[in-house]
């Protein structure tokens, strides 16, 4: 029964985390297109991004990692090849999360180092990661 609760919680918080990872780059695009640094719109987008990071993304990534590692220990996944590949992708996705957090701080300071087109392309990263992770976790090809 513990396994099922861990799995359910892990899946739920992965959904929350992925939703935030999809939303934040879109917020960045709107932020850059909507408000000049120092404007009222700039301040609103900065606050939205900060709240998304603090209220949804940070708690979600912590719970995903805790429950994911608990699941891996419970099932002995650390000895399986599919899990190593999945773990690598989750590490990359966690780094992406960190990069998004750093870019939000840059935007808050008025620095706009990326074009909207690149931010729109970066929005595909969590989708690609999700496809690979789900295939690895469900199909377990190796």
Query: Which residues constitute the domain of residue 64?
Result: 2-139
Q: Judge whether 84 is annotated as a binding position.
A: no
**Tally of structural domains, the chain:** 1
Percent of the chain with pLDDT over 90: 96
Mean pLDDT of 37-61: 97
DSSP letter string, 36-102? -TTSHHHHHHHHHHHHIIIIIIHHHHHHHHHHHHHHHHHHTGGG-HHHHHHHHHHHHHHHHHHHHHH
Percent of the chain with pLDDT over 70: 100
Condensed to tens digits (0 to 9), the pLDDT of residues 60-116 reads 999 999 999 999 999 999 999 999 999 999 999 999 999 999 999 999 999 999 999
Q: Judge whether 86 is annotated as a binding position.
A: yes
């Amino acid at each position: 029964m513990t396994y099922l609760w861990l799995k359910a919680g892990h899946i739920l918080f992965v959904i929350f985390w992925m939703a935030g990872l999809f939303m934040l780059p879109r917020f960045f695009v709107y932020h850059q297109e909507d408000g000049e640094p120092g404007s009222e719109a700039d301040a609103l987008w900065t606050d939205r991004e900060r709240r998304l990071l603090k209220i949804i993304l940070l708690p979600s990534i912590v719970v995903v990692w805790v429950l994911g590692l608990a699941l891996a220990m419970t099932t002995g996944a650390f000895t399986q090849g599919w899990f190593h590949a999945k773990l690598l992708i989750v590490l990359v996705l966690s780094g992406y999360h960190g990069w998004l957090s750093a870019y939000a701080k840059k935007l808050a300071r008025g620095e706009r180092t990326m074009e909207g087109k690149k931010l729109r392309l970066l929005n595909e990263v969590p989708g690609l990661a999700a496809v690979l992770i789900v295939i690895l976790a469900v199909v377990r090809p190796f």
